[in-house]
Amino acid sequence: MSNLVSRIRSAFVHPARRRFWLTVGSGGLIAAGLLARYGFGMVEAWTALMVAAAFVAGSDIAIRAWRSLRVRHFSIELLVTVAAVGALFIGEVWESAAVTFLFMFGGWLEARTMGQTRGALKALLDAAPATATVLRDGDPVEMPAHMVQLGETVLVRAGQRIPVDGEVTEGTAAVSEAAITGEPMPAEKAPGSHVHAGTIAENGLLRIRATNVGADTTLARIIQRVEEAQEEKAPSQRMIERFAQWYTPSIIGLAVVAFAVTQDIRLALTLLVVGCPGALVISTPVSIVAGIGRAARSGILIKGGQHLESAGRIDTLALDKTGTLTEGKPQLASIVALGGVTEAELLHLAATAEAGSTHPLGRPIVEAGRKNGPLSTPETLEEHAGMGLSARIDGRTVAAGNRRLMDTLGIALGQEGEAALDRLLSNGQTPILVARDGQLIGLLGMSDMAREGAAEAIARLRDIGIGRVVMLTGDQHGAAEAIAREVGIDEVHAGLMPEDKLELIRKMKADGAHVAMVGDGINDAPALAAADTSIAMGAAGSDVAIETADIALLKDDLGKIPEAMAISRATLGNMRQNLVIALVTVAGLLAGVFSGDVHMAGGMLVHQLSVLIVIANGMRLLRVPKATAPGGRAAKAAATRPATVAARG
Amino acid sequence: MTQKTILRSDELSCPSCVPKIEKALNALPGVAKAEVRFNTGKIEVEHDPAQSSVEALVEAVRGTGYEAQPAAF
């Protein structure tokens, strides 16, 4: 018994549950009233039941209106309360009951569906485990995940979510990182591996030394980023909010004027009912929340409505080659020593010079050089952006880089050098020319592999309507062409300096193209900044990429680019559809009110329906297919649908 | 001493609730700043817990007709 009482009490304390039961109650009273009048012809009973229904549903609305009024806020609830009370006074009991019931029922449905729209992010939030098992003095202790101290050892058993960011100290496990990267294949983790909070240990038993906890974990930072992105207002949203600011007061003014002129109280009250531009103010946010949430589920971080809008318009995509289209881990493929220098000597000199650089092409040379013994440190080192580097080693000048570096330094290649260079280039290898004291002493051939799935990703981009796909690279023509052929890109700009890339992007934009640039690394930064949309890859490990790019792919997967584009396009289309639905509804309602076709209950019904249609339309974005299906077709199908919906609204 | 508390609600269904909730929270003693983010359903409040506790914030939001829970981030 006391159980029942407490349940009833909790239902009334919890606002959403209270509203639900009040709605059910008022709906029941309305049904009983309709039965009484049309089944048994009891008009008095009908009137009483309708008044009761209006009071049941209206009480909550009136209380909320009063509470808002006390903090000096004119709420929608106030308009509805005035309209409902007004209707009771002029004897329109049915209108009053219907308006209050529909307002409550619509609000309940809207809260539910809006919650589902936000659900994509909720999945991420839920991925963060609330508790962690920590080893203290050898004993496992259960505690809130954000209370774990840095450096403490966290125990994770098979099937559990990892509660902190950290480094595995003991044990191995297959860890599903789907929550962070959207990648369904679990990754093998062993001592020394880094693991992220929110990922799941599918098997095994891990001991993890906590390096980041609570709000500092990668998962929490991603969630914060996604939320900031969802809150960032798209240009069209700002426009609508300005419109909405004026809309409600002017409708109230209109109601007063209409009453003063026509003395028609019904017309004035109906205007109050339709005075909230609900569908309009919710049209853009709902699309953006759903679009960004859908993208986040696949490990694609779109940094805000503004970027969604601009990414949806992209027709040209420029890609960096090294590290984007390719693994970015070139291998040392061939060594050509010239002029009496041994291969070992050549490699040792080149490796010593490159040891001071962080260029990706240098790393395999350094690794290969280290195999033959330790490397000394060059006395001086100078990097020539886009060309190579020069260093002083044991008092001699060593230069390593591309042909332009040699030309700049005035070093002749000679017949032998030219022949070796041609041979490497025709093999699609990237040559690094090495000179000592102004004399070419040999060449190193590097080759890089195209990423898995690169060709499919490029083909899909064309499918979804990105007409022009361009490769921009600082690398030589031969290597660039070889990769371009492999992945199916026909426009290649090779041998570019960072500022050349920037210039090319600017030129494309000047020609009227909407350009997205995909890249990584410092030499792409100017081009990324110049593009309409910048896309960074492999952002899970790099805060810089998350901070600076408009779209960050948490995983090095080219397939995510067409997916991101498809989502952006679908979102942009969805936003436009919602705007049309909302504007048609507002216009239709006002026309209907003044022509006398729409009364209070009808106005409320259409208004609530339009809000629900807009939310439901936005929710379709959550179902934008994964990378496999061509988004162009989906977008087209979507574009034909709103016409019929709008006509109904 | 002011602290920042984050509440989350999945019940916000129309942006018209934003000023309503913000005004209700700002009317509490010791609340320096209250911001409601409609798109994500996140409510950020800077308040003095000695004057208005987290429970009082939740109660104020409930008064405007929405259930909210405190969240870690």
Q: Which of A603, A586, A592, A596 is nearest to A84 (CA)?
A: A603
Decide if B29 touches A, using CB distance below 8 A: no
Q: Per-residue DSSP letters for A555-593?
A: SS-TTHHHHHHHHHHHHHHHHHHHHHHHHHHHHHHHHHH
How far the first Cα of chain B sits from its last, in Å, is 20
The string of pLDDT tens digits covering residues A37-74 is 998 888 899 999 999 999 999 999 999 889 888 887 77
Interface test with B, best of A67, A116, A614, A619 (most B CBs within 10 A): A67
Interface test with B, best of A10, A22, A67, A71 (most B CBs within 10 A): A71
Across the interface, of B15, B24, B62, the residue whose CB is closest to A15 is: B62
Q: A540: which residues sit within 8 A by CB, 6+ positions away? A: A180, A181, A196, A218, A299, A554, A555
Decide if B2 touches A, using CB distance below 8 A: no
The string of pLDDT tens digits covering residues B22-63 is 999 999 999 999 999 888 888 999 999 899 999 999 999 988
Across the interface, of B10, B14, B27, the residue whose CB is closest to A115 is: B10
The string of pLDDT tens digits covering residues A562-577 is 999 999 999 999 999 9
The domain tally of chain B equals 1
Interface test with A, best of B25, B37, B40, B66 (most A CBs within 10 A): B40
- Specify burial of residue A409 (Cβ count, 10 A radius: 0-12, 13-18, 19+): middle
Q: Tell me, yes or no, if the pTM score tops 0.90.
A: no
CATH number of residue B30's parent domain: 3.30.70.100
Fold of the A129-216 domain: 2.70.150
Q: What's residue A50's pLDDT?
A: 94
In the predicted model, what is the mean pLDDT of residues A309-322?
Answer: 88
Question: Which residues in chain B are closer than 8 Å to A294, comparing Cβ atoms?
Answer: none
CB–CB contact B16 A214 (8 Å): no
The yes-or-no verdict on residue A349 having pLDDT over 50 is: yes
In the predicted model, what is the mean pLDDT of residues A347-354?
Answer: 85
Q: How confident is the model at residue A628 (pLDDT cuts 50, 70, 90)?
A: very low
Residues A331-447, CATH architecture:
3-Layer(aba) Sandwich (3.40)
A320 is catalytic: yes
CB–CB contact B16 A281 (8 Å): yes
How far apart are the C-alpha atoms of A245 and B18, rounded to whole Å?
A: 13
The yes-or-no verdict on residue A540 having pLDDT over 80 is: no
The yes-or-no verdict on residue A471 having pLDDT over 90 is: yes
In the predicted model, what is the mean pLDDT of residues B3-21?
Answer: 84
Cβ-based neighbour number of residue B1 at 10 Å: 6
How far apart are the C-alpha atoms of A195 and A154, rounded to whole Å?
A: 12
Q: Which domain holds residue B21?
A: 3-71
How far apart are the C-alpha atoms of A41 and A376, rounded to whole Å?
A: 104
In the predicted model, what is the mean pLDDT of residues A300-315?
Answer: 87
* Marked catalytic residue, from A320, A475, A524, A557: A320
Reported as type and span, the H/E element at residue A481 is helix A477-487
CB–CB contact B23 A68 (8 Å): yes
CB–CB contact A107 B40 (8 Å): no
E strands, A359-508, in order: 380-384, 388-393, 396-401, 430-436, 439-447, 468-472, 491-493
User: CA A324: distance to chain centroid?
Assistant: 19
How far apart are the C-alpha atoms of A286 and A308, rounded to whole Å?
A: 13
Q: A415: which residues sit within 8 A by CB, 6+ positions away? A: none
The string of pLDDT tens digits covering residues A593-614 is 888 888 888 888 998 899 899 9
* B12, closest residue in chain A (CA to CA): A111
